[in-house]
Amino acid sequence: MIRLDADRPVEFCDGLRRRDFLHAGSVPLLGMGLQQMFGLKAQGAVDKSKSDMNCIFLMLVGGPSQLDTWDMKPNAPIEIRGPYKPMKTNVTGIEISENFPRMAKHADKYAIIRSAHHTAAAVHDTGHQMMQTGRLFQGGVEHPHMGCVLGKLKGPKGDVPPHVLLPRPIGNTGGNMPHGQNAGFLGKMYDPFVLNSDPSDPNFRVPDMLPPDYLTALRVDRRRNWREMVDKTVSKFETSQDARLLDSTFQQAYTLMSSQKAREAFELHREPEKMREKYGVNRFGQSCLLARRMIEAGVRFVTINMFETVFDEITWDIHGSKPFSPISCYKDLVGPMFDMAYSALLEDLAERGLLKETMVVATGEFGRTPKVNPAGGRDHWPQCWSMLMAGGPFKGGQVIGASDEIGAYPKDTPVTPAMIAATVYRGLGIDLETELPGAQGRPIPLVDRGVEPVKQLFV
């Protein structure tokens, strides 16, 4: 994110300077931030329907072990079943790991897919790409995140971005490849609004929002047309697509920054302390709480990265030796952290009447090896893993698909990342026959021909 409050100011005709207008903001032609929303609104893409389906996508960076979370194999040998025991849930016949006691009380709200798999390389980056776009990046083509596609096709509701990413983008996970968290070939205008801040920080604030008194001090009522500024500065920029976009969307920037609804959505201090504690006072927990506030404010799609990297941080990536995590963290830290936040999110959304219009998808990029390795952990295993689907049109309280007796491969109903993408799009009310404008004017299908959603999920 590039700041525009540089030492060299650019003045508008009424004396209002560029640094005043975007003191803490950003625009994608210089660094991703607010432009995607302004452009969408300028193009008339705004759909203010209150009944639109939303989505919260929980990216469980690191790849949770299916055998230690939601597909227990208690009768397998110890080197397969691992150290944890299964626990009964509030749905007869469904058991999950003892590390998720709160989740066990809400099994009626979510479905477990136990047969997710892909055939690409067993590296984090490829899994991130496929689970968030439905496709593997090849030939230099970066496909758009599902939330970015939604923003392209339906635009924002009101004065909030259509897609928000919390708390920060995925960083280094070893592959040095894109992670599938931006708009790809759709262009930066459709990138997500990235928080780039830790909402559990006591001093948390959103730098791209300006308070009303600040705007008043800048004499917003005297603002001039953006093109006048362009005429006085860079004539070459004036003729560019970005200049034309900014010319038509300048007033929208003020609308967002002065929007009380947009600002308040990010103000976690408005939440009762008990609610914040219910989610867990940590980066992931507070991101989930913030996601609920985003949905309430009108954001269509929220992506949450549970972790930013797998190195030198306790994550789902349980190889068993440094710089990775030990399998014990599922009991000591990662498991309880997810259990609290996920359960609180489902319960909170349900109590507010939002769960029926908000899909909550939770998945890693792959699973873990059935056999515990010599370091006491499990390695990468894209051949089979478990994921969670809740809310919206999805039917909870069920298990879809099954793995074999050691959790190594799907035994029935194999589910691919492309099928998950199709499922999310179908849930969002997007026609799967839609084609997206690709490079050089070549249309790219939303999903490949023949890819079907997971039909058992739909009520």
Per the listing, tokens 């949905």 go with: 295
Query: pLDDT tens digits for 46-72?
Result: 444 445 899 999 999 999 999 999 999
> 333: domain range?
55-168+175-191+275-434+451-457
Average pLDDT score over residue span 245-257 = 47
- Look up tokens 């939330």; give the residue: 147
* Torsion 431-432-433-436 (CA) sign: positive
- Which tops the pLDDT comparison, 212 or 346? 346
Q: What is the pLDDT of residue 258?
A: 61
- Whether residue 18 lies inside any domain: the answer is no
What torsion do the CA atoms of 180, 183, 388, 340 make, to the nearest 10 degrees? 90
- Type of residue numbered 457: L
Average pLDDT over residues 84-89: 98
Contact 195, 279 (CB under 8 A): no
Alpha-carbon 34 to chain mean position: 17
Of 148, 89, 93, 60, give the one whose Cα is nearest residue 360: 60
The answer to whether position 257 is within a domain reads no
* Mean pLDDT, residues 272-294 taken together: 98
At 442 the pLDDT is: 87
What is the pLDDT at residue 37?
A: 52
Please, which residues bridge with residue 451 across strands? none
In a domain, 34, yes or no: no
| Percent of the chain topping pLDDT 70 | 78
CATH of the domain at 376: 3.40.720
Instruction: For residue 242, name the pLDDT band (cuts at 50, 70, 90).
Output: low
- Residue 45: predicted pLDDT: 45
β-sheet bridge partners, residue 11: 17
Strand 95-97 and strand 86-88: the pairing is: antiparallel
Segment 100-128 shows an average pLDDT of 98
Q: ω before 382 within 30° of 0 (cis)?
A: no
In a domain, 307, yes or no: yes
For residue 10, pLDDT over 80 is answered with no
* Type of residue found at 222: R
Q: 378 is written with which tokens?
A: 């499990």
Mean predicted confidence (pLDDT) in 319-345: 98
pTM of the model: 0.85
Which pLDDT score, from 0 to 100, does residue 158 have?
84
The CA distances from residue 396 to 5, 321, 346, 385, in Å, are 49, 36, 11, 19
What number of other Cβ atoms are within 10 A of residue 7's Cβ? 5
CA distances from 106 to 59, 263, 276, 412 (A): 20, 32, 19, 25
Is residue 373 a part of any domain in this protein?
yes
Classified as helix, coil or strand, 275 is helix
Size (the chain), residues? 459
CB 212 within 8 Å of CB 261: no
Cβ atoms of 63 and 325 within 8 Å: the answer is no
Give residue 229's pLDDT band: very low, low, confident or very high (50, 70, 90). low
- Rounded to an integer, the average pLDDT of 31-39 is 49
The number of folded domains in the chain is 1
Q: Out of 215-219, 239-243, 297-301, which region has the weakest mean confidence (pLDDT)?
A: 215-219
Strand partners, 368: 380
**Mean pLDDT, to the nearest integer, of 31-43?**
50
In tens, the pLDDT along 407-452 reads 999 999 999 999 999 999 999 999 999 999 987 778 999 999 999 9
Is 445 inside any structural domain?
A: no
Domain annotation covers residue 103: yes
pLDDT band at 20 (very low <50, low <70, confident <90, very high): very low
What's the pLDDT band for 211 if we cut at 50, 70, 90? very low
Higher pLDDT, 231 or 406: 406
| CA dist., res. 17 & res. 9, Å (int) | 6
Q: Give the model's pLDDT for residue 263.
A: 82
Which of 393, 447, 382, 397 is closest to 115 using CA atoms?
382
Q: Provide the pLDDT for residue 385.
A: 98
Q: Average pLDDT, stretch 272-296?
A: 97
Q: State how far the Cα of 81 lies from the Cα of 311, in Å rounded to an integer.
A: 26
Q: What is the pLDDT of residue 92?
A: 98
At 159, the pLDDT band (50, 70, 90 cuts) reads confident
Residue 228 has a pLDDT of 56
pLDDT (average), residues 78-101: 97
Higher pLDDT, 221 or 279: 279
pLDDT at 438: 85
Higher pLDDT, 372 or 252: 372
Q: What is the pLDDT of residues 117-158, one digit of tens each?
A: 999 999 999 999 999 999 999 999 999 999 999 999 999 998
Q: What is the pLDDT of residue 441?
A: 77
